[in-house]
Structure 1
Amino acid sequence: MQASARVVGGPVLGSLPGLHRAASLEVETPFKHPRSSCRAKGSGDGHPRVVSGTDGCPLLVQKYTFFGVKCEGGRSARQQRSVRSPFSVSASVAEPPVKEALGFDAPLPAPELLSVFDSPSPFVVTSPEYPTLSTDDNHRPTYHFQPPAGFMNDPNGPAFIGGQYHIFYQHNPARAAWNWGVCWGHAVSSDLVHWEHRPLALTPTPGGYDQDGVFSGCCVNNDGIPTLLYTGVQVATPDRPVNVTSVSQLLGAAFSEVQCMATLGPDGKFSKGLAPVISTPPAGLDIVGFRDPYVWREGNEWMMLLGSGIKEQGGTALLYKSPDLHKWEFVQPIHIGDHTETGTMWECPILLKLGKWHILSVSPDNPANPILYWIGSFSNGTFVPYGAPRRLDLGNVCYAPNSCIDGKGRQLVWSWIQEVRSEEASVAAGYAGCLTLPRVLSMLDDGRLIQEPVEEMKLLRDRHLVHETDFALRSARPRTFNVHTGTLEIEVEIERGGADAVGIDIRETPTEDEVLESECGPEGCGLEATRAQRVLRTDPHEGVLVSYDYKKQWLEVAWWQPGPDAGTDSPGELVSKGGPLTLDEGENLKLRVFLDRSVVEVFANSRAVLTTRMYRNVIGAALIAKGGDAVVKQVDMWQMGSMWDPQLKDSPLVPQLKDNPYVSI
């Protein structure tokens, strides 16, 4: 592409601290489109502004990144919905890189997005008409929480009120892709694994403070009344000045963020307040974002954390306090990170008290990055971390965790599981996104975090397929099992013996002889193997390999990921994700692996969790050892049921349902 540039002036819109009325470098980059001649514009001064371009086309220009699209020939960007490609003239855009040691990917280029000025809200209805999705889709999860159809991302406000579990979540019911005008979906359960969907809880109010989206937040129990706190957004346009608090390359927009509240009334509907409860960021801080309230009760006061970041310093969580959820007073940032280490903007912060410890969890910058948490102490409005941040999940798809405490006193946490296939594939399938299994978090006295799937997952065990105990796992000779299902739970305990590494090979499992014959020879396998596959001497294949390397003390999952432009049925690249797991002297490896079609969720010794997605029809399993023989103390496998099945009210694991007027929606 040929780019032309010139220095231009222009008005600055909004009141983001640090904006200057300076000239900027405007770049026009022509590109071809089958139905129009378009060009994109951007700015090289790093200061966001919304301008009226040629023919009145609105453009947001910022830091060599192109968000607006100008289409010639009488068509506006709104009409050209298929023209969605941002451009950049610099490789160093968006947030600065973060340390590779923490597992961060390089900063994402802006993905394919609708123009910032596309109409956001018209699809919103209280009871959407969901399409009926194919029952033959071998990639759609069955027991990980998801909406009936459409797009979901952050879990918002899980809560346990009146004997019922509530889950709220960001949702686009109209299309299996994110767009402005996102709302909150809502579902309830009595057992955490079977869910009943309710009408949409919150939708944007046209012309209101949340007209362009109901962003993330939380739900609290205010004297038995479910009360939602969330971020409402308005996008800046040339004819609609707003108090800009955030400029997002990922979303392609400058927008305002205010903190809002809604309460559930006797009619079973949530009613919003007439005005936001927090309308402006705290004075004196040069922030880069202001969203995602997380609220809890401490003594006689309510406390709130807001995700934010301070320019040239790093991500932060802003602390507020209130006597009544209506009037909020800013206290201070509870902790400020280093933007070169942990990102410039912390989304979805949560603060949990686990025994004598606190943990602060944040999602830095964008969903390409892992969830981080610090172990430390919280007092007098300040969080003091003990040591470096750690990763909450060792995979590549989890983001934006949220939590609640249930009637059993358990600290429950869910995170958003993203898709890793193309947006076009998700839209064609009719769904995108789901949640992790509900996890119970606790802390050992030595500061090690424990994450376990809830006990109620046992309710979904449909058929007990495998139960074997005390057998030798021979080096380089897989032990195969005659299981054929894409919805599988595997629970295995392995004694190391003389093995250097062990693993679970999940795929359409061949016989042992076929596996041995397919091992890589002197000429190689024809494909580049991941480290785990080289260690375990398995051939590169289209399944999933869960492995543990005793020498490196490393847990890993390797899988085939489709290429971004190839669709879900074409091979892409072999990738692997993993992280450290240190076993105590003489401690056996204990794995619980949940395969839910395209979702793989691995719990290792309750101290490490690794979640990923792959789009292959893997339906079998084998155990593998390398470098010596291991001993399998016990292995069990179950075919799993569905979250859509009726709730099992007569199970001893399920609490008795109670009458609750707040879920009669």
Structure 2
Amino acid sequence: MAQSTLAILGAIAALTPSITAAKIIDNNASPPNISTLFNGSIFYTWRPRSHILPPSGQIGDPCMHYTDPVTGLFHVGYLHQGAAGATTDDLVTFKDVGKDPTFIRAEGINDPIAVFDGSVIPYGINGTPTLLYTSVSFLPIQWTIPYIKGSETQSLAVAHDGGANFTKLKEGPVIPGPPFPVTNVTGLRDPYVFQNPTLDAAANSTNGTWYAAISGGIHGEGPSQFLFRQYDADFRDWEYLGQWWHEQANSSWGDGSWAGRWGFNFEVGNVFALNTEGYSAEGEIFTTLGAEWSEVPIIPQVSQFREMLWSAGNITTSSNGSVHFVPSMAGKLDWGQWAYAAAGKLLPANSSASKASGVDHDRFISYLWLTNDNFGTDAFPVVAQGWNSVLTTTRELAQGIISDVVDNDLVNETASWRVGSRNSAAGTVELVTLKQTIGQEVRAAFISNATRTFTQSGRNISTTAPGYGNTSATALDFQQSPMSRFFLMTASISFPPSARNSSDLKAGFQILSSEYESTTVYYQFANESLIVDRSNSSAAATTTPGLPSNNEGGRLRLFDIAGSDSGNSSAIETLNLTIVVDNSVVEIFANDRFVLSTWIWSWYDQSTEISFYHEGSQAVAFGNVTVYEGLVDAWPERMY
């Protein structure tokens, strides 16, 4: 569990809005100090329509997802006054599991204080979905302070009423604390259950054994994932297999530029296997994990930084028989500062969503928590808004392949890819990485349900074009722009070979623009980064504390791709963008391997315009841009 959630659990009740049918805020006038407004007065101003969030109040970590083996419905879970959830038969529209979407609360002997993240075994006790979750008895829990023995344990609960409720077992925790002799832990939470035949063989387990990876770390040593194995048929006993994965404290993958730091404590670790289609039991081992770290000196009870990472690697067996995960590549799952606590789950081919859309293979889908208030550290006006944070758009994860890459210095780095194979005769390599895309059903629905679709013809923009200065920024308006802040946009940008060494080139788009506000999304070769310039995104940021306007950014390398002719020509990989704008939530997908999720708190109703953006001394070629406006109402049965 992302521990900053605890800072606002006590305030959840205050977030229930006083909702009126009429919109009472004038978004054509200068913004007030929103923090001074009454409860729920800007409930609709920035609320998305196509994302997962409760009817009101705070949403926390995504967790506890599963496909119901009886109905085929996919259940999406999240922290909310305990844990709450919704069902979907298409990954696009959702139904709360009940009038009160909370299906488990902190109120038992094992969890008198809180319910943290957990994971569901679809065919568990008596063939029923069974939840293994972190039950909390003492607070505070933070990796910067001594651990309170017994504060975090792992307990079981069984679904009934179609998943509207989970009944806790009337017995003690099935994992009562840190394993002997590991006692000085930084945390022991967020159990993730999984099966893997490769691990069965390495650990000499029975085929089909369930495992639980529990996240945490050891004071003075570093972050870890602790591995447990199912010991009995009813999942009441779990055998400790050791530290499945451990990294030195505050170390990094390579120089840290592609995956940040491993930090001091792991959270929300998921373990799964992927091939190029999606989930595959025989595929390459991947993990997603949250990493907590801080600058020195460490301030007690303060964790300054978090990374939402992914890694892939191999299972090794030590001479004493213990099994370990060894990374071969790692990267950022999301480069957004406020995107964290990812949780995913196998979506089988026989699920309702897959059968309806004709997807005939198993998939792995994942969601992240996108926090409004920087993990409880910003003075965001949550009372006036009446809701806080969302889950990101449904993502599909798979093993990604980049073909025909020129074998040069750009590929030889400890980074978020590895060389899968080399073609010495052609002078090329095939790179392997993590593929991330919007869920197939979601993308198709955004396109097919668009209330308005238009295409802006691409164009070449050069610094020598009439009317443009040598290095000044150029913004060329589209012939049409969206009329709202709900749309999906696809675009591409091609760069000349000379751009590789450019120190001043920036190319992309201005979105959500008006005479008062604008946001610029652009790529620059100077540091191989995709940047979201939010310095002028929100007029409300000038009047209201807690609306930060810092830029967001992440690293994306565009490789040299070999040409198809015999002249050994090559070209810089085209930048392919998909941008989802759901009111204030903006998610940027690039080249099926980069995602950055952020908030754009546009104030004025007219801040909807789009334009090409170019700066620097190199020409670029923009491809056609298509905008699908409208998105989808993800909650058709809700009152609001």
TM-score of the aligned structures, taking structure 2 as reference length: 0.69
C-alpha displacement at 1:247, in angstroms? 4.4
C-alpha displacement at 1:320, in angstroms? 0.2
- Aligned match for 2:53, one of 143, 146, 166: 146
Q: 1:645/1:264 Cα in 2 relative to 1: closer, same or farther (>3 Å)?
A: closer
User: Which residue pairs with 2:338 in the alignment?
Assistant: 397
C-alpha displacement at 1:349, in angstroms? 0.7
Q: What is the rounded CA distance, in whole Å, between the counterparts of 2:584 and 2:62 in structure 1?
A: 20
Structure 2 residue 432 is the aligned partner of structure 1 residue 479: no
SS of the residue aligned with 1:339? coil
Q: 1:146/1:367 Cα in 2 relative to 1: closer, same or farther (>3 Å)?
A: farther
User: Which residue pairs with 1:417 in the alignment?
Assistant: 370
- Aligned match for 2:326, one of 370, 385, 402: 385
TM-score of the aligned structures, taking structure 1 as reference length: 0.66
C-alpha displacement at 1:418, in angstroms? 0.8
The equivalences for 1:32-71 within 5 A come to none
C-alpha displacement at 1:452, in angstroms? 0.5
Q: 1:466/1:251 Cα in 2 relative to 1: closer, same or farther (>3 Å)?
A: farther
The amino acid across from 1:480 in the alignment is D
User: Which residue pairs with 2:613 in the alignment?
Assistant: 624
Structure 2 residue 508 is the aligned partner of structure 1 residue 508: no
Q: Write the deviation string for residues 91-147 of structure 1: whole angstroms up to 9, x where unpaired.
A: xxxxxxxxxxxxxxxxx9x99948xxx9x79979xxx98864568632222212111
Structure 2 residue 192 is the aligned partner of structure 1 residue 294: yes
The answer to whether the 8 Å contact 1:464/1:636 transfers is: no
The answer to whether the 8 Å contact 1:487/1:639 transfers is: yes
Structure 2 residue 392 is the aligned partner of structure 1 residue 436: yes
The equivalences for 1:563-602 within 5 A come to 568=544, 573-585=549-561, 586=571, 587-602=573-588
- Aligned match for 2:454, one of 436, 454, 466: 466
The answer to whether the 8 Å contact 2:187/2:216 transfers is: yes
Q: 1:198/1:129 Cα in 2 relative to 1: closer, same or farther (>3 Å)?
A: farther
Q: 1:590/1:598 Cα in 2 relative to 1: closer, same or farther (>3 Å)?
A: same
The amino acid across from 2:95 in the alignment is E
Q: 1:387/1:635 Cα in 2 relative to 1: closer, same or farther (>3 Å)?
A: same
Q: What is the rounded CA distance, in whole Å, between the counterparts of 1:554 and 1:353 in structure 2?
A: 29
C-alpha displacement at 1:550, in angstroms? 3.5
The amino acid across from 2:364 in the alignment is Q
The amino acid across from 1:640 in the alignment is G
User: Which residue pairs with 2:137 in the alignment?
Assistant: 234
Q: What is the rounded CA distance, in whole Å, between the counterparts of 2:517 and 2:324 in structure 1?
A: 44
The amino acid across from 2:598 in the alignment is T
The answer to whether the 8 Å contact 1:563/1:570 transfers is: no
- Aligned match for 2:87, one of 188, 192, 196: 188
User: Which residue pairs with 1:215 in the alignment?
Assistant: 116
User: Which residue pairs with 1:262 in the alignment?
Assistant: 157
User: Which residue pairs with 1:637 in the alignment?
Assistant: 627
Q: What is the rounded CA distance, in whole Å, between the counterparts of 1:360 and 1:215 in structure 2?
A: 20
Q: Write the deviation string for residues 255-307 of structure 1: whole angstroms up to 9, x where unpaired.
A: 71110111113575321111221112101112121110000123321100001
Q: 1:307/1:574 Cα in 2 relative to 1: closer, same or farther (>3 Å)?
A: closer
User: Which residue pairs with 1:451 in the alignment?
Assistant: 436
C-alpha displacement at 1:234, in angstroms? 1.2
Q: 1:202/1:590 Cα in 2 relative to 1: closer, same or farther (>3 Å)?
A: same
User: Which residue pairs with 1:513 in the alignment?
Assistant: none
SS of the residue aligned with 1:427? helix
C-alpha displacement at 1:565, in angstroms? 9.7
Q: What is the rounded CA distance, in whole Å, between the counterparts of 1:320 and 1:571 in structure 2?
A: 42
User: Which residue pairs with 1:308 in the alignment?
Assistant: 216
Structure 2 residue 559 is the aligned partner of structure 1 residue 559: no
Q: 1:129/1:572 Cα in 2 relative to 1: closer, same or farther (>3 Å)?
A: closer
User: Which residue pairs with 1:84 in the alignment?
Assistant: none
Q: What is the rounded CA distance, in whole Å, between the counterparts of 1:570 and 1:205 in structure 2?
A: 30
User: Which residue pairs with 2:313 in the alignment?
Assistant: 376
The answer to whether the 8 Å contact 1:247/1:288 transfers is: yes
Q: What is the rounded CA distance, in whole Å, between the counterparts of 1:214 and 1:571 in structure 2?
A: 30
Q: 1:399/1:579 Cα in 2 relative to 1: closer, same or farther (>3 Å)?
A: same
User: Which residue pairs with 2:383 in the alignment?
Assistant: 427
SS of the residue aligned with 1:153? coil
SS of the residue aligned with 2:383? helix
SS of the residue aligned with 2:625? strand
Q: Write the deviation string for residues 449-475 of structure 1: whole angstroms up to 9, x where unpaired.
A: 110001222313423332134533444
User: Which residue pairs with 1:284 in the alignment?
Assistant: 181
Q: What is the rounded CA distance, in whole Å, between the counterparts of 2:461 and 2:53 in structure 1?
A: 38
Q: 1:367/1:506 Cα in 2 relative to 1: closer, same or farther (>3 Å)?
A: farther
Q: 1:424/1:280 Cα in 2 relative to 1: closer, same or farther (>3 Å)?
A: same
Q: 1:570/1:247 Cα in 2 relative to 1: closer, same or farther (>3 Å)?
A: closer
Q: What is the rounded CA distance, in whole Å, between the counterparts of 1:279 and 1:591 in structure 2?
A: 47
C-alpha displacement at 1:614, in angstroms? 2.6
Q: 1:572/1:160 Cα in 2 relative to 1: closer, same or farther (>3 Å)?
A: closer
Q: What is the rounded CA distance, in whole Å, between the counterparts of 1:279 and 1:205 in structure 2?
A: 17
Q: 1:405/1:387 Cα in 2 relative to 1: closer, same or farther (>3 Å)?
A: closer
Structure 2 residue 291 is the aligned partner of structure 1 residue 364: yes
Q: What is the rounded CA distance, in whole Å, between the counterparts of 1:564 and 1:348 in structure 2?
A: 34
The amino acid across from 1:403 in the alignment is G
Identity rate of aligned residues, in percent?
A: 22
The answer to whether the 8 Å contact 1:146/1:435 transfers is: yes
The answer to whether the 8 Å contact 1:354/1:442 transfers is: yes
The answer to whether the 8 Å contact 2:461/2:619 transfers is: yes
Q: 1:247/1:474 Cα in 2 relative to 1: closer, same or farther (>3 Å)?
A: closer
Q: Structure 1: state its 5+ residue gaps.
A: 1-107, 173-182, 237-243, 511-540, 648-665
The answer to whether the 8 Å contact 1:465/1:638 transfers is: yes
Q: What is the rounded CA distance, in whole Å, between the counterparts of 2:545 and 2:185 in structure 1?
A: 43
Q: Write the deviation string for residues 150-181 of structure 1: whole angstroms up to 9, x where unpaired.
A: 10110012222232111111013xxxxxxxxx
C-alpha displacement at 1:493, in angstroms? 1.6
Q: 1:169/1:257 Cα in 2 relative to 1: closer, same or farther (>3 Å)?
A: same
Q: Which moved more, 1:576-585 or 1:212-221?
A: 576-585
User: Which residue pairs with 1:89 in the alignment?
Assistant: none
Structure 2 residue 180 is the aligned partner of structure 1 residue 273: no
SS of the residue aligned with 2:75? strand
More contact order relative to length (CA 8 Å, sep ≥ 6): 2
C-alpha displacement at 1:369, in angstroms? 1.1
Structure 2 residue 267 is the aligned partner of structure 1 residue 347: yes
- Aligned match for 1:328, one of 214, 227, 238: 238
The answer to whether the 8 Å contact 2:227/2:243 transfers is: yes
The answer to whether the 8 Å contact 1:314/1:337 transfers is: yes
SS of the residue aligned with 2:445? helix
C-alpha displacement at 1:509, in angstroms? 4.0
The amino acid across from 1:158 in the alignment is H
The amino acid across from 2:136 in the alignment is V
The answer to whether the 8 Å contact 1:562/1:569 transfers is: no
Q: Which moved more, 1:163-172 or 1:618-627?
A: 618-627
The equivalences for 1:240-255 within 5 A come to 246-247=141-142
- Aligned match for 2:64, one of 157, 160, 169: 157
